[in-house]
Amino acid sequence: MDFSFTEEQDKFRQEVWDFLEDETKKGYWEPTCDAWVQGFDPAFTKRVAHRGWIGLTWPREYGGQGRSHMDRLILTEEMLRYGAPAACHWFGDRQVGGAILSFGSEELKKEFLPRIVKGEAYFGLGMSEPGTGSDLASLQTRAIEDGDYYVINGQKTWTSCASFSEYFDIYARTDPEAPRHRGISEFIVDAKSPGVSRIPMIDITGTEAWNDVFFDNVRVHKRYLVGEKNRGFYQVLHQLDYERSGMERLMGNYPLFEGIIQFAKENRLSRNPVIRNKLAQLQIEFEVGRLLIYRVALVMEDGRAPNWESAMSKAYCTEFEKRLACVAMEILGPYGQLKLGSRFVPLRGMALHSYLGSKGYSLQAGTTEILKNILASRRLGLPSS
Amino acid sequence: MKLTLSEEQEMLRKTARDFLNDKCSKRFVKQMEESESGYSRDLWQEMAELGWMGLAFPGKYGGGDMSFLDLAVLLEEMGRACLSGPLFATVILGGLSILDIGSEAQKQEYLPKLIRGERVFTLALTEPGYHNYDASSVTVEAIRDDGNYVISGTKLFVPDAHIADYLLCAAKTKPRSGITIFLVDARNPRIKYTALKTMAGDKLCEVVFGQVPVPAANILGRLNQGRSAVQRIMQRAAVGKCCEMVGNMERVLEMTVDYTKERKQFDRPIGSFQVIQHYCADMATDVDSARFSTYQAAWMLSEGLPCTKEVAVAKAWVGQASQRVFALAHQIHGAIGVTVEHDLHYYTRRAKAAELAFGDADFYREVVAREMGL
């Protein structure tokens, strides 16, 4: 066991710090909760790309840096610490690029990876459907072959970043006769294709968090099929392992964490033993979660997809985020309910935002219940229910 | 960063596990609990021959030149096996403290015998009263008398004191905050021992010092400067207890999961019920997180890095995790788990005792709060 970072890793972290510190000093953006998924700032994404920090782990031949998963974890950890607006590139960088790299044709890799790396191709996900949540294999969106094309019809929902997405990575049924796990395929769909439309969904924080995305006879060329036809369900499981793997599940609200500690100190609330106790408990839980996520990165470093390991870290960490928001609200008392822009609002309304927003954290990318099922079967070998 | 054991550590683990599987049955554990001494002289000697006592000491004293991290692996295995006896007290509380703050002459004198299993050491720190975990609550005094010191007062919860050859006694040597650690010959007739009847059957003692003379040469470390030494002893002890608890919990998770696969109700193994699966998933999460936080602290101690916060995080977290793990283990095992016919109770009692030793979650949460600058 070794819990240290290498000199290069420390140097890299410092480099990321310096960059982000400079960005905030210049007033380009303000640290914000959920900025990894709701902070759309194409110029920021461009500046990150310019540093070579998108697709960091990908091979050089596709524009990546061929660096380690630990480096990427360090990078994302610091982005989250600063609440940086990284939503434009987050999905492409975190999972779609990786999916293309793992399963896509050479042609697809050449078409998309260099553009994601340059911060020029933003992705949204099309997995869930109105009737399809945890039971992903029940999805109904159809893709029917027609010459060199597939014609896609159906509705996707809970698509984050959809207003900004230039492409969607979607899953559709290509063989309705086959057992349901074996008739699904993955496609990249240009968001500008005729027949694609979106309707925003406003979440309980008042943010446009998702979109419904509709596909009405959308023609997609066969070269945009990712991986093998009818293997999409297995590919999506792989992708979900990565979707759950990261530090955003622990640190999506880090600006609030830092903010509430500072607030307690400045207002002398931290002398109150109850408040000290609560904040220290959060700190303990935070440090523990961080270790669980580092383990996930080390699994990836070994060349394995993080399966039950990311199920464990994600299930644990989203519960931490909910508790963080609850503790912040308790400390702020009646002030906690004030919205950004209100007179007397503390911490730019972050506690309120997190309190409401975090209710969804344990639902997206696999509910906590599904994640515990994965732990039970994959980690512990318990029989299926 | 690497979160797996090295090849050597894996080997150590395997050797320890095989040895303890062979020597430390639950019948043996029960015997030890019921015995007065709490350990078997024969097994003690075998462990010394395996190099366990000397593992983390330099070769020049006869030790194995390994690290605290390696010792952590061994302690974890002892936790798995519910092994009791004075190794923890002798090595973690006694030997490593001597190595840390003793003079070269003291190390030469005491460590080789300790490593050979010829001497048992322990630490007399805690005193009667509540929430007394660290040096700040020491009231037992050592009065200077003609170049030597005379110790009087009562220490409580001193592990294995009744069989110890030496006591490391933390005593006040200055009215305000001067603490000094003395190496006291435990056979002095002015020291009275009463073994307490404890939940885990381990041998915690009340130790009464009745004007016990101690030569100034037996001061360990610096006069009046024992506070930081005590802090480091506490850190090693807390992490050592975490290792044992991690071993307890890992074994109990295995036992519980195995049980859910075998135990049938409504014609199905209960492990096929989702509620049981989720309980087990929660247990696994607590076990893994307890292990990582423990090893992080053990690694930092091994490397000599400042780790006040990490130790506090580990002891606080492991204590809480252990409570949850045992609550679920008992729930899943059903009524058989609350009888002495099943082995679960050995683990339950030990984990709770370890949780209470050297500072509980409340105590360490406050340490974390201070480290956060609150």
Q: Which domains does chain A have, with CATH numbers?
A: 7-121 (1.10.540.10), 124-230 (2.40.110.10), 244-379 (1.20.140.10)
Q: How far is B22 from chain A (nearest CA, A)?
A: 26
pLDDT of residue A37: 94
Q: What is the pLDDT of residues B159-192, one digit of tens each?
A: 999 999 999 999 999 887 799 999 999 999 999 9
Check B372 against A280: CB less than 8 A apart: yes
Read off the DSSP letter of residue B102: -
Nearest CB among B257, B273, B374 relative to A380 is that of B257
Separation of alpha carbons B210 and A90, rounded Å? 69
Q: How far is A382 from chain B (nearest CA, A)?
A: 6
pLDDT of residue B338: 96
As a three-state string, the secondary structure of B26-81 is: HHHHHHHHHCCCCCCHHHHHHHHHCCCCCCCCCHHHCCCCCCHHHHHHHHHHHHHH
Banded model confidence at residue B136, pLDDT cuts 50, 70, 90 = confident
Closest chain A residue to the Cα of B274, Cα to Cα: A385
Separation of alpha carbons B345 and B342, rounded Å? 7
Q: Say if B3 is an interface residue toward chain A (CB within 8 Å).
A: yes
Separation of alpha carbons B82 and B200, rounded Å? 10
Separation of alpha carbons A229 and A232, rounded Å? 7
Q: What is the pLDDT of residues B75-128, one digit of tens each?
A: 999 999 999 999 999 999 999 999 999 999 999 999 999 999 999 999 999 999
Nearest CB among B1, B284, B292 relative to A2 is that of B1
Q: How far is A330 from chain B (nearest CA, A)?
A: 17
- CATH 2.40.110.10 in chain B, residues? 122-226
Q: Which of residues 335-364 of B touch A (CB under 8 A)?
A: 362
CB atoms within 10 A of CB A14: 12
Separation of alpha carbons A79 and A67, rounded Å? 17
Nearest 5°: phi and psi at A239? -65, -40
Q: Say if B272 is an interface residue toward chain A (CB within 8 Å).
A: yes
Q: Which of residues 45-104 of B touch A (CB under 8 A)?
A: 69
Q: Say if A288 is an interface residue toward chain B (CB within 8 Å).
A: yes
- CATH 1.20.140.10 in chain B, residues? 227-371
For residue B367, what are the contacts with CB-CB under 8 A and spacing of at least 6?
A: B308, B309, B312, B359
A60-to-A51, A98, A357 alpha-carbon distances in Å: 14, 14, 37
Separation of alpha carbons B140 and B151, rounded Å? 7
Q: What is chain A's alpha carbon radius of gyration, rounded to the nearest angstrom?
A: 21
Separation of alpha carbons B198 and B177, rounded Å? 32
Domain B7-120: assigned CATH number: 1.10.540.10
E strands, B85-172, where? 121-124, 141-145, 148-159, 166-172
Check B313 against A283: CB less than 8 A apart: yes
CATH class of B122-226: mainly beta
As a three-state string, the secondary structure of B354-366 is: HHHCCCCHHHHHH
A132-to-A8, A157, A359, A366, B332 alpha-carbon distances in Å: 44, 9, 19, 12, 32
CB atoms within 10 A of CB A373: 21
pLDDT of residue B131: 77
Banded model confidence at residue A78, pLDDT cuts 50, 70, 90 = very high
Nearest CB among B261, B300, B374 relative to A270 is that of B374
For residue A259, what are the contacts with CB-CB under 8 A and spacing of at least 6?
A: A328, A347, A348, A350
Check A284 against B295: CB less than 8 A apart: no
Nearest CB among B1, B273, B317 relative to A288 is that of B317
Closest chain A residue to the Cα of B285, Cα to Cα: A312
- From chain B, the residues in CB contact with A294 under 8 A are 1, 3
B280-to-A377, B111, B115, B246, B255 alpha-carbon distances in Å: 10, 44, 40, 16, 11
- CATH 1.10.540.10 in chain B, residues? 7-120
* Mean pLDDT value of segment B194-220: 97
A209: nearest Cα among A54, A28, A356, A93: A356
pLDDT of residue A317: 98
Contact at 8 Å (CB) between B111 and B57? yes
Q: Say if B288 is an interface residue toward chain A (CB within 8 Å).
A: yes
- Bridge partner list, B225: B179
pLDDT of residue B132: 76
Mutation pick from A291, A296, A377 vs chain B, by most beta carbons of B within 10 Å, is A291
The mean predicted confidence, pLDDT, of chain A is: 96
- From chain A, the residues in CB contact with B3 under 8 A are 1, 3, 291, 294-295, 298
Percent pLDDT > 90 in chain A is 98
Sign for the CA dihedral angle at B114, B120, B126, B131 comes to positive
Q: How far is B360 from chain A (nearest CA, A)?
A: 13
Determine what percent of chain A falls in helix, strand and coil, rounding each to the nearest 5.
Answer: 55, 15, 30
Separation of alpha carbons A250 and A253, rounded Å? 8
A40-to-A45, A83, A104, A203, B104 alpha-carbon distances in Å: 9, 12, 27, 17, 63
Q: Which of residues 306-335 of A touch B (CB under 8 A)?
A: 312, 315-316
For residue A17, what are the contacts with CB-CB under 8 A and spacing of at least 6?
A: A78
pLDDT surpassing 80 at residue B157 = yes
Mutation pick from A307, A373, A382 vs chain B, by most beta carbons of B within 10 Å, is A382
* Mean pLDDT value of segment B190-195: 98
Check B289 against A284: CB less than 8 A apart: no
Residue with token string 């990490």:
B310
Quick check: helix, strand or coil at residue B195?
strand
Percent pLDDT > 90 in chain B is 96
B312: nearest Cα among B370, B356, B351: B370
Contact at 8 Å (CB) between A259 and A350? yes
Superfamily of domain B227-371: Butyryl-CoA Dehydrogenase, subunit A, domain 3 (1.20.140.10)
Q: How far is B225 from chain A (nearest CA, A)?
A: 29
Token pair, residue A357, equals: 């927003």
pLDDT of residue A205: 93
- From chain A, the residues in CB contact with B316 under 8 A are 280-281, 284
Predicted ipTM > 0.90: yes
For residue A14, what are the contacts with CB-CB under 8 A and spacing of at least 6?
A: none
Check B2 against A276: CB less than 8 A apart: no
Q: What is the pLDDT of residues A321-369, one digit of tens each?
A: 999 999 999 999 999 999 999 999 999 999 999 999 999 999 999 999 9
Read off the DSSP letter of residue B248: H
Separation of alpha carbons A330 and A309, rounded Å? 32
Percent pLDDT > 70 in chain A is 100
Token pair, residue A38, equals: 């709701």
Contact at 8 Å (CB) between A282 and A302? no
Check B278 against A376: CB less than 8 A apart: yes
Closest chain B residue to the Cα of A316, Cα to Cα: B285
Sign for the CA dihedral angle at B21, B26, B29, B31 comes to negative
Contact at 8 Å (CB) between A375 and A311? yes
DSSP H or E run through A239: helix A232-243
Separation of alpha carbons A108 and B187, rounded Å? 80
Q: What is chain B's alpha carbon radius of gyration, rounded to the nearest angstrom?
A: 21
- From chain A, the residues in CB contact with B313 under 8 A are 283-284, 287-288
Q: Say if A234 is an interface residue toward chain B (CB within 8 Å).
A: no
Banded model confidence at residue A385, pLDDT cuts 50, 70, 90 = confident
Q: What is the pLDDT of residues B299-356, one digit of tens each?
A: 999 999 999 999 999 999 999 999 999 999 999 999 999 999 999 999 999 999 999 9
> Using CB atoms within 10 A of its CB, is residue B49 exposed (0-12), middle (13-18) or buried (19+)?
exposed
Report the relative pairing of strands A167-173 and A123-126 from DSSP bridges.
Answer: parallel
Sign for the CA dihedral angle at B39, B41, B46, B47 comes to positive
Contact at 8 Å (CB) between B85 and B40? yes
- From chain A, the residues in CB contact with B362 under 8 A are 277
Contact at 8 Å (CB) between A286 and A250? yes
Longest dimension (CA), chain A: 72
Q: What is the pLDDT of residues A27-47, one digit of tens each?
A: 999 999 999 999 999 999 999
Q: How far is A74 from chain B (nearest CA, A)?
A: 12
Check B271 against A264: CB less than 8 A apart: no
* Buried b or exposed e, range A89-120, using 16+ CB within 10 angstroms: bbbbbbbbbbbbbebbeeebbebbbbbbbbbb
Nearest CB among B5, B289, B369 relative to A280 is that of B369
Q: How many CB pairs below 8 A link A and B?
A: 142
Residue with token string 């975090």:
A358
Mutation pick from A263, A272, A288, A310 vs chain B, by most beta carbons of B within 10 Å, is A288
Contact at 8 Å (CB) between B76 and B250? yes
Q: Where are the alpha helices (DSSP H) in B144-273?
A: 226-262
Contact at 8 Å (CB) between A173 and A139? yes
* Mean pLDDT value of segment B191-198: 97
Contact at 8 Å (CB) between B205 and B195? yes
Contact at 8 Å (CB) between A80 and A249? no
pLDDT of residue B133: 81
Banded model confidence at residue B281, pLDDT cuts 50, 70, 90 = very high
pTM as predicted: 0.97
